[in-house]
Amino acid sequence: MFEHDRITAKPAETPVPVALTPEERQWLREHPTFSVAAFPIDPFSIVDGDNITGYMPELIGAIAAQVGIEPRFVPRTLRETMEQLQQGTLDATTTVIQTPERDVFLAFSEESYPVTFGVFARAERTDLSDFQSLKGQTLASYPGYGLNSLFQQYLPDNPIVLAATWKGCCVWWRRARRM
């Protein structure tokens, strides 16, 4: 069984009673659905038009079912997601990096899936091993990415090229490899 299946199966197959106050139960009755922004980060959120699948939609759906509410997933870009969460026109999102800036307007859950960050570089670049070793290098990123503020803070002189999405960063990386 894949780790994904094990994690999502537990809430769905062995629901744990959730202790709710009368006020919380009333609020849930009045709000049977909630909006969840999803932007494409395979395999966590796979966006195909209005069809959204993946690890996070399954996990959120299983957890929401325990208290009798239903998530309504809406496709958004990361930038749209952050703007609409700040404006209060979206209820939740998934797969965002916790930063001090986001702590101001978001409440973060415990990590549901262990994620580590890596540096992707050409195979011959064995000198790039940590954040500081990126000093002076051109970085590829995309608007709204959680590490952008860290790039600005710790690598202020590095050139940063922005792709529209994380997939665009991968396209640039593949092109750079061929050079």
Provide the 10 A C-beta neighbour count for residue 134: 17
Residue 106's pLDDT is 93
| 92 plus 12 within the same structural domain | yes
| 73 plus 154 within the same structural domain | no
d(C-alpha 96, C-alpha 39), whole Å? 10
> E-strand spans in 50-100?
51-53, 70-75, 92-93
Q: Is residue 108 in a domain?
A: no
The identity of residue 9, as a single letter, is A
Provide the 10 A C-beta neighbour count for residue 137: 14
Least confident among 96-100, 139-143, 169-173: 169-173
| pLDDT higher than threshold 60 for residue 179 | no
Q: Are strands 160-162 and 139-141 parallel, antiparallel or unpaired?
A: parallel
Q: Which two tokens stand for residue 38?
A: 């999803």
CATH number of the CATH domain containing 141: 3.40.190.10
Residue 2's pLDDT is 46
C-alpha distances (whole Å) from 147 to each of 2, 29, 78, 100, 143 are 29, 38, 13, 11, 10
Q: Is residue 31 in a domain?
A: yes
| 82 plus 13 within the same structural domain | yes
Q: Which domain holds residue 61?
A: 3-103
| pLDDT higher than threshold 60 for residue 151 | yes
The identity of residue 53, as a single letter, is T
The pLDDT tens digits of the residues spanning 69-102 come to 999 999 998 889 999 999 999 999 988 888 888 9
Spatial contact of 39 and 75, defined as CB atoms under 8 Å apart:
yes
Residue 177's pLDDT is 60
CA nearest neighbour of 177 among 135, 121, 134:
121
Q: Is residue 118 in a domain?
A: no
Q: Are strands 33-38 and 92-93 parallel, antiparallel or unpaired?
A: parallel
Which residues sit opposite 33 in a β-bridge?
A: 70
pLDDT class of 142 with cuts at 50, 70, 90: confident
Q: Is residue 28 in a domain?
A: yes
